[in-house]
Chains A and B, each alone.
Chain A
Amino acid sequence: MQAIELDSVSRTFTLAGGATFTALQDVSFSVGIGEVVGYSA
């Protein structure tokens, strides 16, 4: 078992006027027990 497991996670927001904004697209990675994972951009 992993501490954190992400499998193809996406998150889309619908903006005023009906337009959509995809904040997360198909995100997959994991964090092991006792591990520190940094994510940045």
Chain B
Amino acid sequence: MNGAGKTTLTKVLATLLLPTTGTARIMGYDVVADTRAVRLTTSVILGGDRGLYNRISGRENLAFFGMLAGVSRRDLRSRVPDMLELVNLAEAADRRVETYSKGMRQRLHVAIGLLSRPRVLLLDEPTVGLDPLEADRLRESIDDLRGEGVSILLTSHLLLDVERLADRVVMLDRGRVTAKMPLAKFAALAGYAAVVTLTYRGTLGDVAGSLPAGAVVDRHIEDAASSTLVLKLREWSGDLFSALGRLVDDVDVEDIDVRPARLEEAFATLSDAAP
């Protein structure tokens, strides 16, 4: 949701905006009083088309912003090629940035943000503009950083990013925190744990009567060509899978898809419950 306050909060933490009231600290440093220490500790990746020098190459942009971030010339010599490799820009490293696609620019932003090896990373919509493969590669990189002890605050309206990467979720709505909890609990708010979609040929018997408590028929369409049964499961259970197995004994199963409850559904549940 636009206007939720996500980008404002990122800018406050990045010392780009002063808070009107309250305090914010990064690694113990106050974002108002200890600006320099906060900036040396933190990288912010805002992304978008701005913030890069178009008439110089990606490699030169990296070296320039690295120097601004206090990275030594010696470290730059090894880290710049590493970062270009990490974000898959090695082949385009010496081309002017004005020839880069939106996705390539986004990846260059990410490389610049990681160059100084920050202890805290603020990521604002990091996968916007990336194709699915690029986005997945970036998510893997972020996951690796977590393994190295980097603390990350990730802003995204793409819930897949949050789902894949976050340990905890904070929900902002019109500038207020409306929920904060572990990811698993958040997903549970959807009201069920998983959705099973069965595609088959043939006729099922009494579906509702065959299933144990905790499984609800969400949709059931039988057609001569292909039929679909969608079940919502409140929780995983062996009984349920046994019952499902018995149910499909006499039909020709074309596909079974099982997916966990999505954050979108949890958000929808929370939004419906909000006053």
Q: Is the CB of A41 within 8 A of B1?
A: yes
User: Chain A: which residue is nearest B183 at the CB level?
Assistant: A38
Cβ contacts A to B, 24 pairs, < 8 Å? A1-B28, A4-B26, A9-B21, A10-B20, A11-B5, A11-B9, A22-B175, A24-B5, A24-B175, A25-B174, A27-B22, A29-B170, A31-B151, A36-B142, A36-B146, A37-B152, A37-B153, A37-B168, A37-B170, A38-B165, A38-B169, A39-B155, A40-B172, A41-B157
Give the docked Cα–Cα distance between A23 and B156 (Å).
17
Give the docked Cα–Cα distance between A3 and B150 (Å).
9
Q: Is the CB of B180 within 8 A of A8?
A: no
Give the docked Cα–Cα distance between A29 and B168 (Å).
11
Does B166 reach chain A (CB closer than 8 Å)?
yes
Partner-contacting stretch, out of B11-19, B57-65, B200-208: B11-19
Residue picked from A6, A23, A38, most chain B C-beta under 10 Å: A38
Does B24 reach chain A (CB closer than 8 Å)?
yes
Interface size on B, residues (CB 8 A): 55
Q: Is the CB of A38 within 8 A of B28?
A: no
Q: Is the CB of B20 within 8 A of A11?
A: yes
Q: Determine which of B22, B23, B26, B171 lies in contact with A39 in the assembled complex, contact meaning CB atoms within 8 Å.
A: B171
Give the docked Cα–Cα distance between A39 and B18 (Å).
20
Q: Determine which of B3, B154, B157 lies in contact with A37 in the assembled complex, contact meaning CB atoms within 8 Å.
A: B154
Of the four ranges (under 10, 10 to 19, 20 to 34, 35 or more), the interface on chain A belongs to 20 to 34
Q: Using Cβ atoms and an 8 Å threshold, which residues of chain A touch B27? A: 1, 3
User: Chain A: which residue is nearest B178 at the CB level?
Assistant: A41
Q: Is the CB of B120 within 8 A of A36?
A: no
Q: Using Cβ atoms and an 8 Å threshold, which residues of chain B touch A38? A: 154-156, 161-162, 165-166, 168-170, 183
| Interface members, chain A 7-22 (any B CB < 8 Å) | 7-12, 22
Q: Using Cβ atoms and an 8 Å threshold, which residues of chain A touch B4? A: 40-41
Q: Using Cβ atoms and an 8 Å threshold, which residues of chain B touch A29? A: 170, 177, 180
Does B25 reach chain A (CB closer than 8 Å)?
yes
Does B173 reach chain A (CB closer than 8 Å)?
yes
Q: Determine which of B8, B21, B157 lies in contact with A8 in the assembled complex, contact meaning CB atoms within 8 Å.
A: B21
Q: Is the CB of A39 within 8 A of B6?
A: yes
Known A36-B166, A38-B161; contact A9-B151, beta-carbon cutoff 8 A: no
